[in-house]
Amino acid sequence: MNCYFDYSAPKDLLKGRVIVVTGAGDGIGRSAALSFAAHGATVVLMGRTTSKLEKVYDDIEQAGHPQPAIIPIHFEGATPHDYEMIAGKLEEEFGRLDGVLFNASILGLRTPISQYDTDIWAQVIQVNLNSQFYMTRALLPLLEKSTDASIVYTSSSVGRKGRAYWGAYAVSKFATEGLMQTLADELENTSSIRVNSINPGATRTSMRAYAYPAENPAEVRTPEEIMPTYLYLMGADSKGTTGQAFDAQPPKI
């Protein structure tokens, strides 16, 4: 598995780039938004809780990084038309996109498949998978306008090897890897857009605390610690790398 845990990003790695981050209000997405901005990017903060996005916006502004933008969206209810509207707004404002980090997702239930609630199954697949397809489809023309665009999808270890009781979440992550591979293969010879996935690995966020309530958070890496791989994939050093699955943390020995 590819791992760039030790990658050292130049300060101006993302200077002038326009990058969308979903789930930018909390956890790994928040950290990625702050880190991309600190490396020069104009970040478009997408997520469902506007107050959290506003806090990230303020943190970026106070640090003197490029002024970000906010797009509140609830992936559960958003329709393909909503993503087309968003693409139109982004085109008006920026004219192109240089990167998208698909990061937002929900955990759903930790239950055997035989007892999995069908409504929650549909909700998880809608938020974790269908929204990514709708948004990818709507944003591709804008990404094509960049000379060097990068799409990064977020996977999980349960999206690479099935694990009991992880239900719709695991299935949505397998499908995310499938979306990544299929799109990467379609674009490889016709476009400069690169498409890859990252498995963050165990990371100290509310999702992790919810999934592993008995774990000591101090023993889990912080979102800030796993940023090198995210920066590598968003910046020009990864040009030409496509269709690959990355790990943001080295394997446990």
Give the binding site for ligand NAP (CB under 6 A): 23, 25-29, 47-49, 52, 73-76, 103-106, 127, 154, 156, 200, 202-203, 205-208
Closest approach of ligand NAP to the CB of residue 159, in Å:
8
Residue 165: strand, helix, or coil? coil
Spatial separation of the C-alpha atoms in residues 20 and 91, rounded to whole Å: 13
Q: Which is nearer to ligand NAP, 47 or 66 (CB)?
A: 47
Q: Which is nearer to ligand NAP, 205 or 242 (CB)?
A: 205
Q: Which is nearer to ligand NAP, 96 or 156 (CB)?
A: 156
- Catalytic residue of the set 153, 169, 230, 232: 169
Closest approach of ligand NAP to the CB of residue 65, in Å:
19
Output b/e per residue, 117-128; b: 16+ Cβ within 10 A.
eeeebebbbbbb
230 is catalytic: no
Backbone angles phi, psi at 151, to 5 degrees: -110, 130
From the list 177, 120, 150, 161, the residue with the least C-alpha distance to 234 is: 150
Closest approach of ligand NAP to the CB of residue 151, in Å:
14
* Cβ-contact 125, 95 below 8 angstroms: no
Spatial separation of the C-alpha atoms in residues 35 and 225, rounded to whole Å: 11
Using CB positions, name the residue nearest to ligand NAP: 27
Q: Which is nearer to ligand NAP, 28 or 142 (CB)?
A: 28
Closest approach of ligand NAP to the CB of residue 53, in Å:
8
Burial class (CB in 10 A: 0-12, 13-18, 19+), 236: middle
* Cβ-contact 19, 44 below 8 angstroms: yes
Q: Tell me the CA distances in angstroms from 176 to 92, 107, 182, 208, one per residue in order.
A: 29, 14, 10, 19
Q: Tell me the CA distances in angstroms from 136 to 93, 191, 228, one per residue in order.
A: 18, 15, 24
Residue 20: strand, helix, or coil? strand
Q: Which is nearer to ligand NAP, 65 or 208 (CB)?
A: 208
Closest approach of ligand NAP to the CB of residue 147, in Å:
28
Catalytic residue positions, numbered: 169
